Amino acid sequence: MRFLVSTIILIFLQACSQNHQPIKTSPMENKEAKNNPYYSRTDTTKLNVSNEEWKKILAPDLYAVAREAATERAFTGKYNEFDEIGDYYCAVCGHHLFRSTSKFASSCGWASFFEADKEGVYYKKDSSYGMERVEVLCKRCDSHLGHIFDDGPKPTGLRYCMNSVSLEFVPDSQK
C-alpha cells in the first residue's frame, strides 16, 4: 500500500514537470528585452531565429527552458504565487500569452492559467520520458512555455502549467 501511495505521489509531482535538470529562476527585470533585437510586444511576425543566435541573446536559465524544454523546480518560479492584474508575455520575444484574469492557484508548483491567448500559443504532442503530454509553445518564436493538462477549473477545464522564467508580466498600471 505504501508503495502504491508513493508511486501516485511521484506521478503527480512529475505530471507538471519535465525530467531535465532543475532551473533556478532569477528575476528578469526585462534584461532580455534590452539585449534582444527580436523582442517586441507589438510585432507579431513569426520569427525564424536559430538556437545558436538565441543562446547569444538569452540568459542561461531562460535559454534552457525556452529553447531546450527544461523546467523550473516546483514552487520556485516568481509567478507561482503571484496575483497582480495585467498581462503575461513571452520572455523571449514579447508575444502576448495570457491575461491575469485566467490565472488561478493550482498548487502544482508552477504558474497556472485556464485560458491562453489563441493567437499567442500553439500545441505539440510530447511523448518524452514515457509520458503523453501536450507541450505549449509561443506562436511567434517557438519557445517552450510548459504543458497543458485537462484538470483545470471552469470554464475551460484546462490547466496551462507554465514556467515563470518563460513569462514576463506587465501590470495594467504600466500600460
Active site residues: 161
For residue 157, give the C-alpha cell: 477545464
Q: How many residues does the chain have?
A: 175
Distance CA 51, CA 143 (A): 10
Question: How far is Cα of residue 56 from the mean position of the Cα atoms in its chain?
Answer: 21
Distance CA 117, CA 120 (A): 5
List the one residue out of 139, 135, 110, 117 whose CA is nearest residue 125: 135
59 in Cβ contact with 28 (< 8 Å): yes
Distance CA 169, CA 60 (A): 19
For residue 174, give the C-alpha cell: 504600466
Phi, psi of 134 (to 5 degrees): -120, 120
For residue 160, give the C-alpha cell: 496551462
